């Protein structure tokens, strides 16, 4: 049996590599890429336009909200006045005078002869009597329509009285004028008669004088 023995040879590759000079590595700066001006300007214009549009929309929205708020405030003021008016009307309706007026309009009258029934024994206390409706005229509350009708009737009556008075005054003036005219006519007639008699006397006197001559 044979064996082949290989002689160990040293590895000189590492030593040779160490002896060769190593190259230094350094970072190479990148080239600056210049952006095109036109797209950049367009982007700025678009951003500026969007900002202006947003501001305009915001301003318009705020103005609309302010106008709407003013309208709502006006409506609230009007509703407050209406509520106050309705409250006053309700107080007027609930007033005793209004209740008395409505009762009078329905034909109800105050009873000056009240009577009460005692429930314990059924005895009537008081002196009940039939009410005619005119026992207490001061307690009859008239409706506005009745008051207006009475005022119109009083005004018509006063106008009629004034017209009658004026007619009587005119008639008296006419009668006085007629009397004065009649007196003037009588005076004229009497003066004419006196003149005629005077002329007649003068003529008679002249005739007598001529006869004497």
Percent of the chain past pLDDT 90, that is, above it, reads 16
Average pLDDT, rounded, for the chain:
77
**50-66 in b/e burial notation, b at 16+ Cβ within 10 A?**
eeeeeeeeeeeeeeeee
What pLDDT, on the 0 to 100 scale, is given for residue 137?
67
- State how far the Cα of 79 lies from the Cα of 73, in Å rounded to an integer: 10
Q: Which pLDDT tens digit goes with each residue over 84-110?
A: 999 998 888 888 878 877 877 777 777
- Contact between 113 and 129 (Cβ < 8 Å): yes
Q: Which pLDDT tens digit goes with each residue over 141-188?
A: 666 777 788 888 889 989 998 988 888 888 888 888 888 888 888 877
Please check the confidence at residue 44 and state whether its pLDDT lies above 90: no
What pLDDT, on the 0 to 100 scale, is given for residue 138?
67
Domain boundaries, the chain: 42-94, 143-199
More confident residue, 82 or 139: 82
- State how far the Cα of 163 lies from the Cα of 209, in Å rounded to an integer: 68
In this structure, what DSSP letter does residue 21 have? P
pLDDT band of residue 40 (cuts 50, 70, 90) is confident
How many CB atoms sit inside 10 A of residue 111's CB?
A: 13
Q: Which pLDDT tens digit goes with each residue over 117-140?
A: 888 888 888 887 777 767 666 666
């Amino acid at each position: 049996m044979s064996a082949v023995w290989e002689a160990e040879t040293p590895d000189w590759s590492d030593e040779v590599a160490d002896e060769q000079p190593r190259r230094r590595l350094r970072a190479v700066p990148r080239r600056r890429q210049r952006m095109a001006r036109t797209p950049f300007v367009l982007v700025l214009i678009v951003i500026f336009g969007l900002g202006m549009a947003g501001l305009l929309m915001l301003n318009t929205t705020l103005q609309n909200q302010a106008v709407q708020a003013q309208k709502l405030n006006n409506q609230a003021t009007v509703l407050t006045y209406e509520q106050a008016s309705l409250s006053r009307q309700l107080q007027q309706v609930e007033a005793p005078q209004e209740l008395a007026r409505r009762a009078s309009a329905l034909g109800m009258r105050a009873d000056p002869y009240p009577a009460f029934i005692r429930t314990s024994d059924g005895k009537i206390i008081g002196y009940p009597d039939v009410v005619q409706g005119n026992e207490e005229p001061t307690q009859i509350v008239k409706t506005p329509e009745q008051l207006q009708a009475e005022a119109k009737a009083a005004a018509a009556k006063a106008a009629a009285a004034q017209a009658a008075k004026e007619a009587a005054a005119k008639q008296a003036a006419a009668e006085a004028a007629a009397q004065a005219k009649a007196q003037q006519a009588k005076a004229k007639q009497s003066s004419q008669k006196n003149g005629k008699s005077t002329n007649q006397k003068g003529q008679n006197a002249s005739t007598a004088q001529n006869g004497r001559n």
